[in-house]
């Protein structure tokens, strides 16, 4: 049985998708970008500030599902510029201390021209 996750503490979906889906004790969360959920605006002028907001948004989805960063088993990270890799990792490492499996790729463009996006899969 599928259960959709929705919280106003993370940005609303900007397309035909859910913030997250729970199935078989696992959360599959949609990618989060640095949008302030209260205003709907992109915030943060650099990768560090944007990554911090992304991690807060990921945390809000995890909390809504009843889990935490410690139970994340896989992340996929998208960067607009691989030159931001080291700075992004500094922020990422503060939140994902259990070191889940991860892919990190540079992409040509992200929604709203943000610098990073992160999606997670977590155990409940």
Catalytically active residues are: 104
Tokens 């892919």 belong to: 103
Q: How many residues does the chain have?
A: 124
Report the half-sphere exposure of 81 (CA within 13 A, side-chain side). Answer: 10
Q: What phi and psi, each to the nearest 5 degrees, are found at residue 101? A: -60, 150
Helices (H), the chain: 47-65, 85-95
SS3 58: helix
CB distance 25 to 71 below 8 Å: no
């Amino acid at each position: 049985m599928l259960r959709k996750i929705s919280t106003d503490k993370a940005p609303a979906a900007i397309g035909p998708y859910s913030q997250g889906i729970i199935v078989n004790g696992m959360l599959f969360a949609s990618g989060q970008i640095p949008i302030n959920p209260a205003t709907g605006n992109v915030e943060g002028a650099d990768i560090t500030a944007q990554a911090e907001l992304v991690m807060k948004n990921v945390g809000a989805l995890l909390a809504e599902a009843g889990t935490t960063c410690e139970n994340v088993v896989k992340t996929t990270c998208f960067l607009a510029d691989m030159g931001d890799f080291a700075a992004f990792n500094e922020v990422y490492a503060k939140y994902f201390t259990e070191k889940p499996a991860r892919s990190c790729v540079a992409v040509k463009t992200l929604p709203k021209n943000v610098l990073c996006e992160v999606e997670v899969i977590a155990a409940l």
